[in-house]
Amino acid sequence: MKYNTIVLAAGQGKRMNAGQNKQFIELLNKPLIIHTLERFIHDTWCYHIYLVINPNEQREMETLITKYGWQHQITIVHGGSERQESGYNGLCAIKPESRDLVVMIHDGARPFVKQTHLHELAEVAQKNRAALLAVPVTDTIKRKQGDKLDTLDRSTLWAAQTPQAFSYDLILRAHESAKRSQYLGTDDVSLVEALDEPVEIVHGSYHNVKLTTPEDIMKAEMILTQKEEV
Ligand code: CTP
Ligand code: MG
């Protein structure tokens, strides 16, 4: 089967504190965004990539994509001030003739997604219309409301990752409905949840981390230097 991918790279990377968008940080001499894009470029199931960027970084991104020779596989789209807006812009850019394909939405800052997980996710989304990669929470999670502390039942808790994959019509409807009601979700699946539509979980890998703070860079280089596929 084939799927389209939206890769979100239009953030500012403020928490990374690198003085530039974290997408350009080099991990073993290659920009983070290139590591992420490679996961999809090398997957024969990936039909086309829509790379959502900050318009101020267009020249820099285009130069990189040309350097790797990926101009035909990637379409650049301008993002917005919120991640959700960037995702919506990506959805609107998908060519009408390929909207029957499953669409994945992925963080540019998540460079370690495994091909087997991409395929499993694509198949589950094809069948069930909405799915995400997630891993069981390993920490004990406490909830504090006022003075009251309680412990959530860990067996029911999952840490959400990306990609999140959908049938195009469903995720477009979810984004449009969220926009109308000015609902800002923390991920794309939450917009589908708000429609009361079911979402499947595909058990992912703890290696599929999002690089958010400077400590994550060292972790990422360690994962990259490991011999086995992550
Ligand atoms: N993103 C985006 N458009 C935005 C905000 C975020 O495309 N307006 C993208 C980021 O580039 C990133 C992904 O969404 O790949 C996940 O967001 P996050 O990790 O929060 O990245 P940033 O927003 O860049 O970082 P920060 O929140 O620390 O500023
Ligand atoms: Mg952010």
Q: What is the 3-state secondary structure (H, E, C) of the chain?
A: CCEEEEEECCCCCHHHCCCCCHHHCEECCEEHHHHHHHHHHCCCCEEEEEEEECHHHHHHHHHHHHHHCCCCCEEEEECCCCHHHHHHHHHHHCCHHHCCCEEEEEECCCCCCCHHHHHHHHHHHHHHCEEEEEEECCCCCEEEECCEEEECCHHHCEEEEEEEEECHHHHHHHHHHHHHCCCCCCCCHHHHHCCCCCCEEEECCCCCCCCCCHHHHHHHHHHHHCCCCC
Q: How far apart are the CA of 97 and the centre of ligand 2, in A?
A: 31
- Binning pLDDT at 50, 70 and 90, where does residue 226 land? confident
Give the pLDDT mean for 147-169.
97
Starting from the CA of residue 87, give the closest ligand.
1
pLDDT at 6: 99
Q: Is the CB of 116 under 6 A from ligand 1?
A: no
pLDDT of 130 > 70? The answer is: yes
Q: Is residue 94 part of a domain?
A: yes
By the 8 A CB rule, do 100 and 196 touch? no
Q: Is residue 120 part of a domain?
A: yes
Q: Is residue 26 part of a domain?
A: yes
> What does DSSP say about strands 3-8 and 46-53: parallel, antiparallel, or unpaired?
parallel
Give the pLDDT mean for 176-200.
98
Q: Is residue 230 part of a domain?
A: no
By the 8 A CB rule, do 15 and 134 touch? no
Q: Is the CB of 208 under 6 A from ligand 1?
A: no
What ligand 1 atom has the least distance to the C-alpha of 81?
Answer: 8
Mean of all residue pLDDT scores within the chain: 96
Dump pLDDT digits (tens) for 40-90.
999 999 999 999 999 999 999 999 999 999 999 999 999 999 999 999 999
* Overall number of domains in the chain: 1
pLDDT of 230 > 70? The answer is: no
Q: Is residue 37 part of a domain?
A: yes
Give the pLDDT mean for 97-121.
98
Give the pLDDT mean for 95-122.
98
Q: Is residue 41 part of a domain?
A: yes
pLDDT at 212: 98
What ligand 1 atom has the least distance to the C-alpha of 211?
Answer: 19
Q: How far apart are the CA of 13 and the centre of ligand 2, in A?
A: 7
* CATH number of the domain that residue 150 is part of: 3.90.550.10
Q: How far apart are the CA of 137 and the centre of ligand 2, in A?
A: 21
Share of the chain above pLDDT 90, in %: 97
Domain housing 204: 3-225
pLDDT at 227: 56
pLDDT of 229 > 70? The answer is: no
Half-sphere exposure of 48 (CA within 13 A, CB side): 19
Pocket test for ligand 1, best of 81, 85, 107 (most atoms within 8 A of CB): 107
Q: Is the CB of 213 under 6 A from ligand 1?
A: no
Whether a cis peptide bond, with omega within 30° of 0, leads into 163 is yes
